[in-house]
Structure 1
Amino acid sequence: MTKRLEGKTAIITGAASGMGAATARRYIEEGARVLVADIGDEAGAKHAAELGENARFCHLDVSEQDDWQAAVAACTEAFGAPNVLVNAAGVLHFAMIEHSTLEDYRRLVDINQIGTLLGMRSVIAPMRASGGGSIVNFSSIEGLGALQGAVAYASTKFAIRGMTKVAALELGVDGIRVNSVHPGMVETPMIGAVTGGAKLDFTPVANRLALRRIGKPEEIANLVVFLGSEESSYSTGAEFVADGGATATHVFGANVG
């Protein structure tokens, strides 16, 4: 039986942990060759080793243009030119607008927004030369609706949503599809980084969702498998939401209790 990503070569950013790591694992399971790209060298190299011979690790600071050029070169040398890019790397920061520092705001723009732009730009030429490909950009439900205390995060996630659509319009003629994924609340190390490692009780959040639970990284990874595969061959410029029903309602219709 043919695997869903057989013959695909993917660069996955933020692939040392969380949703990026889960996506890398699912891509390997579905027959892809994967460049595990992350700023965390130890965790990234360990994860790539665990994934086996069809995975390689590459250090990548997504906000650095030279790092992107090196990552594409490393992928091409190991497996061939990439025909899938998953821009999963991202950081979260909470602060009310009046307490948001310019430094923190720019940090999120550099990683979340500029990192996504540089990633897309770096794979256009190799994808075009090989006849097309798929780019999957991680936005968020905070790229669809506002959240108090998340001005920097929401701004970058709305930006990713917009640049995804522009890229889809520009690159469709080259057979390159570009879509955004919008996860809701998913328990990942990114949340722990914001809370200082403190364990949170997600029950109050879960009780407000249609499914009454928060998501798992693997559930988002399954959606990204679909978008990287030929199963989504007529999907581009679209928003794919996996949020347990968070965006299915408005404030007066939210589930409580």
Structure 2
Amino acid sequence: MTRTAVITGGASGLGEACARRFAAEGARVWILDANAARAADVAGDIGDGARSAGVDVTDEAALLAVAERIEGDTGAPDILVTSAGILETVATVMDEDMDIHDRVWAVNYRGTVSSCRAFGRQMRAAGRGAIVTIGSVNSFSALPLPAYGPSKTAILRLTQILSVELGRHGVRVNAVAPTYVITPAMQARIDAGERDPAVIRASGALDMLVMPRHIADVVAFLCSDAAAAITGVTLPVDAGYAAAVSYKSFAGGLPWKA
């Protein structure tokens, strides 16, 4: 049976990589994004029945309307990836622009909740489905991103809650927690001097830069039958960042030159 995959934030970055990966597996892909023109371009480039809709995930009414349209066209989705999200620059809690803070929370957390409500209800009624939310290394550790970090920590707990709410209805809910990924948004910050790729490479256990396709591979796994017994998990895809941060900061020194 051909699966239907809905990807929010699917016009670029992690979302686009996921859309392309699921399309390559033969899924019908719906690309949702606030940038309607870019979403349409990506869908057109993918072809094979890929479709798009312009929608801002902070607008729950618009999401519900799109969900109704999708269900009418292709039935309840089998897969939902909530990739819509925005970054912020380094700041302190004391000095952060609260308008930026509220926008980050509106997109990253409220947008994820609204997306899961809109499509999770359809999956619940159908008795099947797999949802993957997008957390972050910030879900596990404190970094100087006072809106982004807590919003991604909230995604971890939301994922656990949803896994229990929807599990008895045949719907699995997991999250991936990427490290720094070289998305267009991250590349723009690198180009602006706000991020250092050498520091990013050195932050993990593996000497590599994580690309969107690496995240898409794991998302595809979590939505596959191979992950049938996995739910409520936030899986780091971090090139060993979580292990390396504590290891490399050991006050007693390192047995080798990191």
TM-score of the aligned structures, taking structure 1 as reference length: 0.92
The answer as to whether partners of 1:192 and 1:198 remain within 8 angstroms in 2 is no
The answer as to whether partners of 1:192 and 1:199 remain within 8 angstroms in 2 is no
Within the candidate set 162, 166, 175, 1:171 is matched to 166
Work out the CA distance in 1 between the residues paired with 2:184 and 2:192. 8
Work out the CA distance in 2 between the residues paired with 1:157 and 1:246. 16
Within the candidate set 131, 138, 141, 2:134 is matched to 138
Over 3 Å counting, the alpha-carbon distance change for 1:64 and 1:58 in structure 2 is same
TM-score of the aligned structures, taking structure 2 as reference length: 0.91
Identity, % of aligned positions:
34
Within the candidate set 50, 58, 66, 1:55 is matched to 50
Hey, what does 2:210 align to over in structure 1?
Answer: 215
C-alpha displacement at 1:126, in angstroms? 1.4
Matched, 1:107 2:103: yes
C-alpha displacement at 1:208, in angstroms? 3.0
RMSD between aligned residues:
1.9
C-alpha displacement at 1:192, in angstroms? 4.1
C-alpha displacement at 1:79, in angstroms? 2.1
C-alpha displacement at 1:144, in angstroms? 1.0
Q: Which runs of 5+ in 1 are unaligned?
A: 1-5
Hey, what does 1:153 align to over in structure 2?
Answer: 148
C-alpha displacement at 1:53, in angstroms? 3.0
In the comparison of the two structures, how many residue pairs are matched? 251
Work out the CA distance in 2 between the residues paired with 1:199 and 1:97. 19
Matched, 1:28 2:23: yes
C-alpha displacement at 1:252, in angstroms? 5.0
Over 3 Å counting, the alpha-carbon distance change for 1:167 and 1:66 in structure 2 is same
Look up the SS of the partner of 2:30 in the other structure. strand
Within the candidate set 84, 89, 93, 2:84 is matched to 89
Hey, what does 1:119 align to over in structure 2?
Answer: 115
For residues 133-162 of structure 1, give each alpha carbon's deviation from its aligned partner in whole angstroms, at most 9, with x where no partner exists: 1110001010111112x0100010000111
The letter of the residue matching 1:220 is I
Work out the CA distance in 1 between the residues paired with 2:70 and 2:222. 20
